[in-house]
Amino acid sequence: MATSMRGLTQFIADIRGARVRDLEEKRINKEMANIRKKFKGSCLDIRNLFPQLTEQIYLDGNLDGYQKKKYVAKIIFTYILGYKVDVGHMEAVNLISSPKYSEKQIGYLAVTLLMHENSDFLRLVVNSIRKDLDGNNEIDNCLALHAIANVGGSEMAEALAEDVHRLLISPTSQTFVKKKAALTLLRLYRKHPDVIPAAEWALRIVSIMDDADLGVVICVTSLVMALAQDHLDAYAVCYTKAVDRLHRLVIEHEYSATYAYYKVPSPWLQVKLLRLLQYYPPSEDPTIRSVLHQVLQTIMNNSAEPTRNVQHNNAQHAVLFEAIGLAIHLDSASPLVGTAAVLLARFISSKETNVRYLGLDTMAHLAARAESLEPIKRHQSTIILSLRDKDISVRRRALDLLYSMCDVDNSELIVGELLRYLRVADYALREEMVLKIAILTEKYASSYKWYVDTILQLISAAGDHVGDEVWYRVVQIVTNTEDLQEYAAKVVFEHLKAPSTHESLVKVGGYILGEYGHLIANEPGYSPMEQFQVLHTKSQFCIASTRSLLLSTYIKWVNVFPEIKPQLVNIFERYRHVLDAELQQRACEFYALASRPDDDELLQNVCEEMPPFPPRVSALLGRLNMKHGDTEDKRTWVHGGKEANLDRDIVKRKADGSFAAVGDGQDIMGSLAGLEISASSAEAGGAIPDPVISTKPPRLTTGPNMDRWFDKLTYTAEGVLYEDDQVQIGVKSRYQGHLGQLAVYIGNKVSAPLTSFTTRIHVSDPDALSVTFAKMPPSTIGPRTQTQQLLHIECKQMFTTPPILSVSYLAGSHQTLSIRLPIVVTKFFEHVKLGAADFFERWKLIGGPPREDQAIFSIELNSAGQLDLAKHRQVVSGHRLNLLDDIDPNPNNLVAAGVLHMSVEGKVGCLLRLEPNREAKLCRLTLRSTSETVATEVRKLVQQPLKTDS
């Protein structure tokens, strides 16, 4: 830029040559005056168009593109130096419309620097940006995308989001344009999520994860990660895509040398994919689980021994830690997690600060999920030493890990160590440490005395870092626990004897001694006068709110300690004349109460002992959650151990304000019910609830022959399921007992490959029917070729809704098909041989409704006007019912029997009678079964291909 514009080069040289700031300002003012003069040739007051603008903009029709570019470049340089610029905005808008790249580049640069997202000038450039987005020039596309991403106002996002999405999904877009379009959409979504129809675009965006260019895949994966966190169901298909890409990268080494970073295949993409998989619950598909296990095992094996190359180790460790996180998420009891625990033990003792940090953080994840904390407890001493690490971020992670790994067995040790470290801890850590110590002390209190001793030590040691929530909770528990009250009064009295006492301890002492000081008043050293002297000597250093609390303590003492009443009344008298309105009002009211006759019951009624607090959840966790900032990707776990991660739905309800009831006031542990970290913390601290994927079935594809093809395949083993101009889908099946296999043949009928090929199975009732792929589906089907997908099927219980096969692919545009698979309950029947006597005996034994289902329906005759007995026999036998000959005296009637096999519910018998009538063109179909639902479903399946409209 500087080499082609001598005026700009000279201007920059003059600025750099200025010895003092005054000379620099003088040179800039001179140049700005010249630029205004140049722009003033034809003055247009744009305030007539936009009254809200405050400055006047100048246009000069005599300036050519080069001059405009030069002057705007000088304005940009002036702005970068930090000087206010009030000219050149309209010229920048004009430069964007220039056909020359150099002028357009300066125009876009000026717009992104000089205009903020709410600037009214942006309305003038939207059409120019859209024109560049729609153009065929890739450079113009990129300049426009940069401007949208950098400015990113809501109006611009609403106007141009569709155009950016079109560039991303267009098959003609260059790879570098797709990358920029994906990142621009990500930027817009983060700033204005409501503008992006994320669910509507889901399948099309996810399909780009199969792009041949890994750079595009990395950018699109970043976009999918952001969108999937808020739209789990819509982006569920990305799970299979991520597993497939990981398998191709880690196992098959399918990547170009460009994307190998120190022999690690695209570590950035691996990390993103591994993190993306953690947003979803573990897949139940055994094929996907097997592939993931192989990928994770390979990653851990590759990282077993570090190399001397630091860059290789960094990349490998980044992938490894994310892989360990995924392994913990999938199954915390798997052998992979055992291997990971051994690796983490080595990492938390590493000399590398980053490795120690990641090791502690990942071990905290393990502690939050693991069934047993024993593998982590073996390294407890190392973790405690990490509290004194030279790096504060490592110390913070060690604190989080100790908080997560604490349980009943090691609580006293960990809390004691945290208390000792609190005295020398960084101020940035102290408030969080106080909250975590208070939570752990309360949660794992082995005795009332230990709880009170620890909390009072905490208040004494932490000083200003103790929030009100801490002493509120102490007061609540002491009030609700009668056995604790006398001991608490003694201990707090001893703490108040210290020369310097923090105000929070004075508040606790004021409340507890006011309520329960009479319980210890008869013991040596705890007389009413001594209690009064100890507490009152602290009041002069307290703020008004604390003094107000102490006045309430004194009025309670007036009621229970008449021997010190004169001293207390004297204090009320003094406080009646203070300037603070709250103190003055309390003192006047208390003075009036204290001055009433001794036999007056009003004072006794007013000063009755506080009743137990209603059960409530501790506010400590809410305070702790507020400390966490939304600074990282959302997680599927939170700090605080396994209990905090068990039931997210209950946690979410608590976050909304509905608290669980706790036990009676006599049980500290009972009062801790529901102390799991709330869902608000999950979002604030980077966690999300375990997702519940919607079971809503996809919308079925419609076609003229689809119902006929499906009905035929319910009683035949093979045939065409779907066909159009691009693909043909056929099936071939075999069944035995409650198990079956279905081969789905998908043929590409066009001369171009089908890319981003995805298949999914939707089962409405997974507890009744299991349908899984034998292997991962291919992502591409070559031109005029066929691929086969084998499905393993298991019937567990009775089901009525066939599974749905969803197929999506790119063939110029994105296509999606949703087709019912011919997997019906009759496929799991086995033949039964019965004689006439046995058949009719069982027929009568089963009886009529509700175990009988009967229907009369019209049928068609064959071309000769006779009953189509061959079709009747084909349909009944095709539904795997054994035809029993010579049982019914009418040769046109059919009698059949079968047994339904189910792995969970066992076997169910079924008997059938089909009685057609040629003259009436009607047929009566009767089913009897030991299960009424089986009889109804089998009747519907047999009737469907026989009735007239079939």
pLDDT of residue 619: 64
pLDDT of residue 41: 53
- Determine whether the annotation assigns residue 74 to a binding site: yes
Q: Residue 644 to residues 229, 431, 639, 676, 682: CA-CA distances in angstroms?
A: 21, 21, 7, 4, 10
pLDDT of residue 880: 92
10 Å Cβ neighbour count for 81?
12
pLDDT of residue 660: 34
- Determine whether the annotation assigns residue 696 to a binding site: no
Closest C-alpha to 731, from 771, 686, 683: 771
Report strand pairing: 727-736 vs 718-723: antiparallel
pLDDT of residue 681: 34
pLDDT of residue 633: 55
pLDDT of residue 647: 44
Tell me if 217 sits within 8 A of 269, measured CB to CB: yes
- 90 torsion bin: left (phi>0), alpha (psi -120 to 50), beta (else): alpha
- Determine whether the annotation assigns residue 591 to a binding site: no
Q: Residue 376 to residues 359, 419, 500, 580: CA-CA distances in angstroms?
A: 12, 21, 40, 55
pLDDT of residue 686: 37
Closest C-alpha to 938, from 824, 842, 773: 824
Tell me if 639 sits within 8 A of 368, measured CB to CB: yes
Report strand pairing: 906-917 vs 922-929: antiparallel
Per-run averaged pLDDT (10 residues), the chain, 950 residues: 70 88 89 84 43 44 78 89 85 87 90 83 85 91 92 87 92 92 94 91 92 94 94 91 94 91 93 94 89 94 82 91 92 87 88 90 86 85 89 89 88 89 82 85 84 86 76 84 88 86 86 88 88 85 86 85 87 87 88 80 76 70 56 59 52 39 36 32 36 64 88 93 92 94 94 90 92 88 92 94 92 88 95 89 87 91 87 93 88 92 93 92 92 92 82
Question: Phi and psi for 771 in degrees, rounded to 5?
Answer: -130, 115
Tell me if 408 sits within 8 A of 446, measured CB to CB: yes
CA-to-CA distance for 711 and 950, rounded, in angstroms? 8
Q: Which amino acid is at 420?
A: R
pLDDT of residue 616: 62
pLDDT of residue 640: 64
pLDDT of residue 534: 86
Residues 214/219/222/227 CA torsion (nearest 10 deg): -120
- Determine whether the annotation assigns residue 6 to a binding site: yes
pLDDT of residue 678: 32
pLDDT of residue 558: 84
- Determine whether the annotation assigns residue 72 to a binding site: yes
pLDDT of residue 697: 81
Tell me if 128 sits within 8 A of 96, measured CB to CB: yes
Tell me if 508 sits within 8 A of 496, measured CB to CB: no
Q: Residue 717 to residues 37, 205, 572, 823, 942: CA-CA distances in angstroms?
A: 86, 37, 96, 10, 15
CA-to-CA distance for 626 and 678, rounded, in angstroms? 11
The residue to which tokens 């982006």 are assigned: 235
Structure tokens at 193: 């999520």
pLDDT of residue 407: 86
- Determine whether the annotation assigns residue 250 to a binding site: no
pLDDT of residue 165: 93
pLDDT of residue 572: 87
- Determine whether the annotation assigns residue 70 to a binding site: yes
The DSSP line for 375-443 is HHHTTHHHHHHGGG-SSHHHHHHHHHHHHHH--TTTHHHHHHHHHHHHTTS-HHHHHHHHHHHHHHHHH
pLDDT of residue 608: 77
3-state secondary structure at position 45:
coil
- Determine whether the annotation assigns residue 622 to a binding site: no
CA-to-CA distance for 330 and 284, rounded, in angstroms? 10
- Determine whether the annotation assigns residue 26 to a binding site: no
10 Å Cβ neighbour count for 604?
10
pLDDT of residue 877: 93
